[in-house]
Amino acid sequence: MIENDYQTEVLMLKRILSKSACSSLLLVLMLSILAACGNAGAGTKPSNETASPSLASTTSAAPAEQASKRVYKDAISREVEIPAHPTRIAAHYFAAEMKALNGPLIGTNFLNAKLSLTPEQLTGITDIGGDGVNPNAEKLVALDPDLIILPNFLDQKVVEAVSKIAPTVVMNYSEDTFTRLKKLGDVAGVQGASDKWLSAYDAKVKKKREEVSSIVKEGTTATAFVLHSDKKLYVYGTQRLGPTMYDALGFKQSDKVKQLFANEPNALWKEISLEVLPEYAADHIFIVSSKMDGKTVPEMDDLLSSPIWKNVPAVKNGKAHVVGTRWGLNDPLTLDWLLDEMPKVLLQK
């Protein structure tokens, strides 16, 4: 049974990688760096201290240069000297966060970014996606970023190699959306932008909760499921749809779902069998239909046509909603989008 959060999805992505592919990436990185004639970023040093950004204190640097840089301790406890206010950020993943912050994004992984950003939002940004989950070294070198941001599920050797291109910060990909947004705002030197975004989001939450008040009454429950691309059925915890269902609109978890996550309240999901789905159902059901190779997994049709599904009370009452893949994402732009989409679905006659 899969019980961790983002790690399951990352492992699925990594299946397409091989050791030779990773080695090839590292070779390309080294050759690209040499070709760039010394266009390397600042070094890093490991640390076991608790994370806390601080100003750099390099006595040899000129005062103006000192003030323009600082040391940031990232998600894997590396102390990295970064620009205080970067102007050319390559964020491998985290594109939606950079857009929400209006950060100076010049490169990102399009395979991931296209899940939540429109082609218009990606205009003027370079695709730096490489083999599997890794970035493309040559494109990174060509972009000449002054800051690179990576997720914490990449191989350490890849992180070390990319760090030779430009100052590189590793961020926690599985952290809750709002905490991650604030940290990325800090790294990007736009601390006030995250506060502004969160204030606007909170105001929208109040408005949307009022819109669904006739449906989401005190004690009304909801459960979210996903039939994943691995063809397995999972129950979501408080992540992904959770911030919208529970925190924003006011639904409650069913007692059975609470029990399922009692020992791991922060787990992304728990695998279940179709036979026990009715036990975890609630007054309202959302089921995310995942895709493989751009097509809905065929098992979804089997699930929706099964007697088990058809006999769930929420299905009979017209309160079961089959929703698209984007509903299962956890970036700030998607959560803002869900504040519109979920009430729209609930209020459909």
Mind listing the pLDDT tens digit for each residue in 134-193? 999 999 999 999 999 999 999 999 999 999 999 999 999 999 999 999 999 999 999 999
Domain boundary among 139, 162, 192: 192
Write down the pLDDT at residue 299: 87
Q: Is 327 within 8 Å of 286 (Cβ atoms)? A: yes
Statement to judge: residues 130 and 235 lie in one domain: no
- Name the pLDDT band for 231 (thresholds 50, 70, 90): confident
- The answer to the question of residue 207 being in a domain is no
Write down the pLDDT at residue 297: 75
Of residues 296, 245, 87, the one with CA closest to residue 98? 87
- Name the pLDDT band for 22 (thresholds 50, 70, 90): low
- The answer to the question of residue 274 being in a domain is yes
pLDDT one-digit tens code per residue, 85-115: 999 999 999 999 999 999 999 999 999 999 9
Percent of the chain whose predicted confidence (pLDDT) is above 90:
75
Write down the pLDDT at residue 320: 97
Q: Residues with Cβ < 8 Å from 119, sequence gap 6 or more?
A: none
Statement to judge: residues 162 and 235 lie in one domain: no
**What Å distances lie between residue 196 and 181, 199, 201, CA to CA?**
11, 5, 9
| Residues 202-221 as b or e (16 or more Cβ within 10 Å = b) | eeebeebeebbeebbeeebb
Q: How many CB atoms lie within 10 A of CB 95?
A: 27
- The answer to the question of residue 205 being in a domain is no
How many domains, the chain? 2
With a cut of 70, say whether residue 78 has pLDDT above it. Answer: yes
Statement to judge: residues 242 and 182 lie in one domain: no
Write down the pLDDT at residue 324: 92
Write down the pLDDT at residue 179: 96
With a cut of 60, say whether residue 66 has pLDDT above it. Answer: no
Compute the average pLDDT of residues 232-260.
97
With a cut of 50, say whether residue 18 has pLDDT above it. Answer: no
Beta bridge partners of 147: 89
Residue 170 belongs to domain spanning = 41-192
Write down the pLDDT at residue 44: 46
Q: What average pLDDT is seen over the chain?
A: 86
Statement to judge: residues 275 and 141 lie in one domain: no
Write down the pLDDT at residue 229: 78
With a cut of 50, say whether residue 52 has pLDDT above it. Answer: no
- Name the pLDDT band for 296 (thresholds 50, 70, 90): confident
- The answer to the question of residue 11 being in a domain is no
Domain boundary among 192, 222, 253: 192
Q: Residues with Cβ < 8 Å from 340, sequence gap 6 or more?
A: 208
Q: Is 311 within 8 Å of 278 (Cβ atoms)? A: yes
Q: Which amino acid is at 307?
A: P
- The answer to the question of residue 226 being in a domain is yes
Write down the pLDDT at residue 248: 98
Statement to judge: residues 108 and 221 lie in one domain: no
With a cut of 70, say whether residue 40 has pLDDT above it. Answer: no
- The answer to the question of residue 231 being in a domain is yes
- The answer to the question of residue 202 being in a domain is no
Return the residue matching tokens 């997720």. 151
Q: How far apart are CA 200 and CA 208, in angstroms?
A: 12
Domain boundary among 125, 160, 192: 192
CATH number at residue 179: 3.40.50.1980
Statement to judge: residues 265 and 172 lie in one domain: no
Give the chain's largest Cα–Cα span.
73
Q: Which residue has the higher pLDDT, 329 or 41?
A: 329
Please state the φ and ψ torsions of residue 195, each to the nearest 5 degrees: -65, -40
- The answer to the question of residue 292 being in a domain is yes
